[in-house]
C-alpha cells in the first residue's frame, strides 16, 4: 500500500477511536446498557469509573492515530501500543462475550479493532 493509503487508514482509525471514546463518554448510561444489558449499574462511581477511563484511553489512542496519519514515518511506537491494546481488548471482549457477560455490539466493535490490528501490523511489516 502507498503512504497515502496508510495515512488514510490511520485517519479512519483515529476517527473510529475518537467516535467510540467520546461518543460513549457523551452517552455513558446508554453505552453501559449496550455493553452489559439493562441490569448495568450506571449510578455508582465505583462501577462506572473504570469504563470511563477506558473510553478516555480509546479517545487518546484516536489522537495518537491521527498523529501517525500526519507523519507515518514517525510515531511507530503508537502503532505498536495500539496493536497490543487492540489484541488485549479483543481477547477480553471475546472471552466475556462467550461467558454471556458482554452484549453483541461491543463484541462487534472489538472485531472492528481486530481489523485495524491486522492493517496496523501490515503497516509495520511493509514500512520498516
Q: How many domains does the chain have?
A: 1
Range of the domain at 115: 3-126
C-alpha cell at 32: 453501559
Identify which has the larger pLDDT, 44 or 3: 3
Q: Is the pLDDT of residue 3 over 80?
A: yes
pTM, two decimals, is 0.88
- Closest CA relative to residue 67, chosen from 58, 80, 55, 76: 76
Q: Over the stretch 6-22, which tens digit does the pLDDT of each residue have?
A: 999 999 999 999 999 99
Amino acid at each position: 500500500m502507498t503512504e497515502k493509503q496508510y495515512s488514510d487508514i490511520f485517519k479512519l482509525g483515529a476517527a473510529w477511536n475518537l467516535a467510540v471514546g467520546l461518543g460513549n463518554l457523551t452517552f455513558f448510561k446508554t453505552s453501559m446498557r449496550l455493553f452489559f444489558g439493562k441490569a448495568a449499574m450506571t449510578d455508582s462511581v465505583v462501577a462506572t469509573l473504570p469504563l470511563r477511563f477506558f473510553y478516555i484511553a480509546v479517545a487518546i489512542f484516536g489522537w495518537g492515530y491521527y498523529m501517525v496519519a500526519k507523519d507515518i514515518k514517525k510515531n511507530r511506537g503508537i502503532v505498536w501500543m495500539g496493536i497490543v491494546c487492540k489484541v488485549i481488548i479483543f481477547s477480553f471482549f471475546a472471552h466475556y462475550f462467550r461467558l454471556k457477560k458482554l452484549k453483541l455490539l461491543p463484541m462487534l466493535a472489538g472485531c472492528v479493532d481486530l481489523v485495524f490490528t491486522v492493517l496496523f501490523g501490515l503497516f509495520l511489516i511493509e514500512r520498516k
